Amino acid sequence: MNGEEFAALLGPAGRSVLEAVRDVGPEDELAAVTRLRRTYEAGLVSAAMSQARLRRRAAAKFGADAELMYFTPSGVEQATRRVVAEHRAGRLRALGVGRVVDLCSGIGGDALAFARAGIEVVAVDRDPLTCEVARANARALGLQDAIEVRCEDVTRVPTRGYDALFADPARRTGRGRTFDPEAYSPPLSWAVGAARGVPYAALKVAPGIPHEAVPAEAEAEWVSDRGDVKEAALWFGTAPGTVRATLLPSGAALSAAEPLPPPEVRPVGRFLYEPDGAVVRAHLVAAVAAGVGGGLLDATIAYVTADEPRPTPYATAYEITDALPFNLKRLKALLRERGVGVLTVKKRGSAVEPEEVRRRVAPRGPNRATVFLTRVAGTPSMLIGQPLDGR
């Protein structure tokens, strides 16, 4: 889609076609396109159908807003999930931020959250089409008065005078996703330099960023949404040297200002705790272990075992019924004996894939179970149990 095609989508005819294809499913696309081309230009119909597909994809990130917004393929993929953007906007608002410059703003996902939090936004991106999409999204959601979109090279934008800076450098190259912070576009070192020029800053980075790549003056925050790690951000002006795990949608946050000593390795207890991915990424498993009075199954694996059930928002708890050496034939026999037909397979520290386990044990029956493929003090093992919440 180019700028001219996008402009046509914003016009009366484009809006009419978008409304006509809004509820068209994949199986009905051909018939809808054939029908609409009798009235509208073929290019406009194709552009509207593509936009409808993008809106369906974007619903997972933006909810009901996706039906009103506009997207590009890369914009859907790279945009921040709304719940994460709102969390970040809330943190900035709590810091007293009233005006933020949003660099590498993309289609405006973060800018929309900032504006909804009552923060004035200057959103900057170098791609003309992306900027037009961001402007359209601000208008579609009634936030155009709070968001100014500029099409410029972000490295040339003066940042002094703003209360805060947010930057989301591209983490893809011509070869695909990059995990090297200096291969970001612009590089992380540039973003860190820009962050030092404002009172507060947040830099979005890949969740896999090495801890040693985090500047000493930054707070590193890993964010998960319903158990899935979505992103990491480096915060400046908040809590230097702190690591934080934030779990959404609850907002529960676990943090430490200095590295924690590793938990002890201990025998398998009655309960197993599976720390949230954000906790693992933030190297805060030791804090979970201390909170539940437990230790590790293995020094290199983020499973915590304990003798008592202690509620914690930072880990999912399971009651363990069996702890066995790894043996799929034995597992199959045990599951058959107990009538387990619904089997959840989890693994940490095992080379065996869950799909292979399910195929080979062929679970049958009305009951449920969870099996953990892991190591116990270095030995490949199987732990069988049930979630404490009954799911």
pLDDT per residue as tens digits for the range 187-204: 999 999 999 999 999 999
Count CA within 13 A, CB hemisphere, residue 361.
Answer: 32
Number of domains, the chain: 3
Residue 174 pLDDT: 64
Considering the domain architecture, whether residues 128 and 235 belong to the same structural domain is answered as: yes
If phi > 0 it is left, if psi is from -120 to 50 it is alpha, else beta; for residue 176 that is: left
Residue 50 pLDDT: 94
As a whole number of angstroms, the distance between CA 205 and CA 236 comes to 13
Considering the domain architecture, whether residues 237 and 154 belong to the same structural domain is answered as: yes
Domain containing residue 48: 3-58
> What phi and psi values does residue 290 have, to the nearest 5 degrees?
-65, -40
Residue 213 pLDDT: 92
> What phi and psi values does residue 345 have, to the nearest 5 degrees?
-115, 125
Considering the domain architecture, whether residues 18 and 135 belong to the same structural domain is answered as: no
Residue 391 pLDDT: 55
Considering the domain architecture, whether residues 186 and 312 belong to the same structural domain is answered as: no
Per residue in 336-380, pLDDT (tens digit) is: 999 999 999 999 999 999 999 999 999 999 999 999 999 999 999
Residues of the chain whose pLDDT is less than 70? 173-175, 390-391
Residue 27 pLDDT: 85
Residue 334 pLDDT: 96
Look at residue 266 and tell me if it is in a domain.
no
Considering the domain architecture, whether residues 221 and 299 belong to the same structural domain is answered as: no
Residue 173 pLDDT: 66
H helix count then E strand count, the chain? 13, 18
Considering the domain architecture, whether residues 156 and 242 belong to the same structural domain is answered as: yes
Q: What is the pTM of this model?
A: 0.92
Considering the domain architecture, whether residues 297 and 226 belong to the same structural domain is answered as: no
Look at residue 71 and tell me if it is in a domain.
no
Residue 178 pLDDT: 78
Considering the domain architecture, whether residues 250 and 275 belong to the same structural domain is answered as: no
Considering the domain architecture, whether residues 311 and 230 belong to the same structural domain is answered as: no
Residue 114 pLDDT: 98
Structure tokens at 98: 């009233």
Find the DSSP H helices in the chain.
Answer: 3-10, 12-21, 29-36, 42-62, 73-78, 82-94, 109-116, 128-140, 188-195, 277-281, 285-292, 328-337, 354-361
